[in-house]
Structure 1
């Protein structure tokens, strides 16, 4: 695989992981990969921590599609995004120098709220009322009014995010090779007055989803992008689609998405 020149460490734990970061700097330096102070200088971005830290690293560095992200765990555990453990740093060296290691592409979600600039997420987007009341919204696929939703809210996830909150809601686990978003209901109301599909569904990369929130009441909707919450007033429209940009990570032998899914759930 191509040789990397500069690595940026995303280390939100600071002094608590200073020794680990210094050890990793030496590992990368021995491979001829220099540590840089800003993510803009790097062609390799390494997060130190678990899956949540990896998601933060991607977000805080601007969802770059011109570099490769890797996750390095502090504790031994089974992760979906993190592939390495700093205690086995020799595996990092092998992966970065082996001809058998390839780059894999994870699709991201683009979210546009009202007329604001688009935001992105790698795992999932959720929208729900912040008050103890169900929320109503019109759900459009392309420009087609698909259903009128009444319930707690909706979740939209990427294939890699399908093993998280989506799975606990009964959604399907989706192969990351499928460029799609999955839409899953949060406690929808279904009776003689209100009716929704009642199951999750997939939309391919060319089909945008639009949520038009009922403005007869003010729900003060809370939205989340991965592990970051947003609370915006006067939210009327949310447009969601598969993003043009992709997130690159290392594809290791015997450590595919399905290997990780098996370890975590079976």
Structure 2
């Protein structure tokens, strides 16, 4: 932690947020951190705003492997934010007293139509963009597993299992288990189409291929975390765990399961 001193602050560029972040910047400089204006110079990225801002920070900074990411919430604690903006001195003291640890989170690598891959920390979702079901052939490695018809599918990481995935009754997965979970959105099960009908979990070496059957509903919405991809035509979506992990600076006393308890129980 001592060797990492270049801080880059990521936040929504509004006058209100500037007023919120300025004291935090001043505090960082007082304690020997160097503020940089380019992500290329940074080795610590501080996201201010909440979990959505944290996901945007990852995307805008390219899911860097050589950075530590820190989440600061402007309201209450989230799954990726261990501090609030009103807890600034606590944050500095935690850094100095080694009350923090680096946690490594699995990331999805997603390639649409064999194009350059993108990355997701929470989930990749594929949904119909019209009020009509569509068909997906589901292939695990090279094995044709099932043919799905419905509103769509969600593929989530363990940390993303508490987000969109949980809302469709997916399981909450411990982030120490590198895996991806596949959950259905309103599947049809009849004599023609038959799916497992429940979420399933794939191990770290699996590759999932979702092939959109071209039957007139050929333009589904592909979501990467909290952002929709601007794709006009999707034939196949290949998803696997990336060979990189995101390093997040967290409090030792605020584990994943403590967050689950705090948010849901």
Same topology, TM > 0.5: yes
1:155 equivalent to 2:174? Answer: no
Gaps of 5+ in 1: none
**Distance between the aligned counterparts of 2:54 and 2:121, measured in 1?**
10
Instruction: Please name the residue that 2:261 is paired with.
Output: 262
1:87 equivalent to 2:86? Answer: yes
**Distance between the aligned counterparts of 2:77 and 2:34, measured in 1?**
29
Asked if 2 retains the 8 angstrom alpha-carbon contact of 1:137 and 1:214, the reply is yes
Cα shift at 1:58: 0.6
Task: Trace 1:7-46 onto structure 2 (pairs within 5 A).
Answer: 7-46=7-46
1:87 alignment partner, SS class: coil
**Distance between the aligned counterparts of 2:258 and 2:30, measured in 1?**
30
Asked if 2 retains the 8 angstrom alpha-carbon contact of 1:157 and 1:166, the reply is yes
1:17 alignment partner, SS class: helix
Instruction: Please name the residue that 1:54 is paired with.
Output: 54
Instruction: Please name the residue that 2:174 is paired with.
Output: 175
1:238 equivalent to 2:229? Answer: no
Cα shift at 1:165: 1.2
Asked if 2 retains the 8 angstrom alpha-carbon contact of 1:73 and 1:84, the reply is yes
Cα shift at 1:171: 0.5
Task: Trace 1:174-253 onto structure 2 (pairs within 5 A).
Answer: 174-253=173-252
**Distance between the aligned counterparts of 1:265 and 1:140, measured in 2?**
33
Asked if 2 retains the 8 angstrom alpha-carbon contact of 1:65 and 1:246, the reply is yes
**Distance between the aligned counterparts of 1:142 and 1:226, measured in 2?**
23
1:206 alignment partner, SS class: coil
Asked if 1 retains the 8 angstrom alpha-carbon contact of 2:125 and 2:222, the reply is yes
Cα shift at 1:31: 1.9
Cα shift at 1:15: 1.3
Query: Over aligned residues, Cα RMSD in angstroms?
Result: 1.2
Superposed CA deviations along residues 184-208 of structure 1, whole A, max 9, x for unmatched, are 0000001222110000011111001
Superposed CA deviations along residues 200-220 of structure 1, whole A, max 9, x for unmatched, are 011111001001110132331
Superposed CA deviations along residues 57-110 of structure 1, whole A, max 9, x for unmatched, are 0100000010100111112x2411111112111111022222342110011110
Q: TM-score, normalised by structure 1?
A: 0.96
Gaps of 5+ in 2: none
Asked if 2 retains the 8 angstrom alpha-carbon contact of 1:131 and 1:219, the reply is no
- Provide the aligned length of Structure 1 versus Structure 2: 265
1:215 alignment partner, SS class: coil
1:117 equivalent to 2:116? Answer: yes
Q: Which moved more, 1:63-72 or 1:248-257?
A: 248-257
**Distance between the aligned counterparts of 1:131 and 1:12, measured in 2?**
31
1:188 alignment partner, SS class: coil
